[in-house]
A and B are shown apart, each in its own frame.
Chain A
Amino acid sequence: QMQLQESGPGLVKPSETLSLTCIVSGGSISSYYWSWIRQPPGKGLEWIGYMFYSGSINYNPSLKGRVTVSVDTSKNLFSLKMNSVTAADTAVYYCARDSGSRGNWYFGLWGRGTLVTVSS
């Protein structure tokens, strides 16, 4: 049974870089598309970006320029980096398995999420 587990610092200072990883267990990372999604406290879900192991990547235009996603097939994990963070980036960050189809877009599996707080 495939499982996803996010990890990374729970506290990041303003203007610094947020770095998270998502470890994929029970299956190959090369078989699927993967996305990052976040939920600020008391707010709804926001899609951050998706990637495929071969290099296909797309970011939410509202975050483009600050976000980088990457995949490490040797470790079966994928990563998120977000620079110049502010308090508005405080959120629970989720990794998820993406359907890979934009016309039929959905997430079949999610991680439990990790809370990242941006504060000095």
Chain B
Amino acid sequence: QSVLTQPPSASGTPGQRVTISCSGSSSNIGSNSVSWYQHLPGTAPTLLIYSNNQRPSGVPDRFSGSKSGTSASLAISGLQSEDEADYYCATWDDSLKGVFGGGTKLTVL
């Protein structure tokens, strides 16, 4: 059971906009920034979003992040087939540990 709650799956057609939610509590998302990762099985996960809504250089602006209260969201616009992957949110919890969401498998139909 992950500390952060994500939907196990999401889907969309090419060109669509999809959002993935990440729900936490006052001790984690409510007090610290959220990051998001893309993971293709067998490869190294990659950082998509940090500081709630900042993109590292090289990440397309189709990816955006937001945070409100104890929840965060990752939005992917102009969905492409190569976006099919697992997505994870993460933040620090004030109980002195890092926590992740359970992951969302995105399928491009």
Cβ of A44: which chain B residues have Cβ within 8 Å of it?
2, 88, 100-103
Cβ of A47: which chain B residues have Cβ within 8 Å of it?
90, 97-100
A108 CA to B46 CA, complexed, in Å: 7
Count of residues in A whose CB is under 8 Å from the partner chain = 26
- Which of A45, A109, A110: most chain B CB closer than 10 A? A45
18 contacts between A and B (CB under 8 A): A35-B98, A44-B2, A44-B102, A45-B90, A47-B97, A47-B99, A47-B100, A60-B97, A60-B98, A102-B32, A103-B92, A104-B50, A104-B51, A105-B92, A106-B35, A106-B47, A107-B37, A110-B44
Known: A94-B45, A103-B31. 15 other contacts (CB 8 A): A4-B44, A44-B2, A45-B88, A46-B100, A47-B90, A47-B100, A58-B97, A61-B96, A61-B97, A105-B33, A105-B92, A106-B50, A107-B35, A107-B37, A112-B43
**Chain A interface residues (CB < 8 Å from chain B):** 4, 35, 43-47, 50, 58, 60-62, 94, 99, 102-113
